[in-house]
Structure 1
Amino acid sequence: MNVLVILIPVSLILGALGLVAFLWSLRAHQYEDLEGDAWRILTDDDQEPR
């Protein structure tokens, strides 16, 4: 039972940190262009001509 006194607050703090990180990523527009990276993989624009 004494372990629960430590584990419950630790799990709540870690959950809150995960929520804060997710909300930060939403505000930083990390999920704006979900398909752009997939199309950039298929193009050869970043390679130098030989």
Structure 2
Amino acid sequence: MGSTIGMVAADALAIVVGAVLGRHLPEKVIRYVAAAAFAVFAVLLLGEGVRAV
């Protein structure tokens, strides 16, 4: 029960923050930041996989 409440609270917070940022930032900025974050995490995960082999 506690983990479900925690997940609902975390999701609600993410939705609120996303809605607020969506109103204050241009869509182009959000798109570039999301693409950069995706690329950074991809490189980190690839590096982690290469080190594990």
Scaled to the shorter chain, the TM-score interval is 0.5 to 0.7
Query: Higher Cα Rg: structure 1 or 2?
Result: 1
For structure 2, which runs of at least 5 residues remain unmatched after alignment? 1-25
Q: Distance in 2 between matches of 1:7 and 1:15?
A: 12
For structure 1, which runs of at least 5 residues remain unmatched after alignment? 30-50
1:2-40 deviation per Cα after TM superposition (whole angstroms, max 9, x unaligned): 2111010110000000000000000000xxxxxxxxxxx
List, as ranges, runs of 4+ consecutive aligned residues in structure 1 with deviation greater than 3 Å.
none
Normalising by structure 1, report the TM-score.
0.53
Match of 2:43 in 1: 19
Q: Which of the pair is proportionally richer in helix?
A: 2
Larger RCO: 1 or 2 (CA < 8 Å, sep 6+) = 2
Superposition CA RMSD, Å: 0.6
Normalising by structure 2, report the TM-score.
0.50
Calculate percent identity across the aligned residue pairs.
14
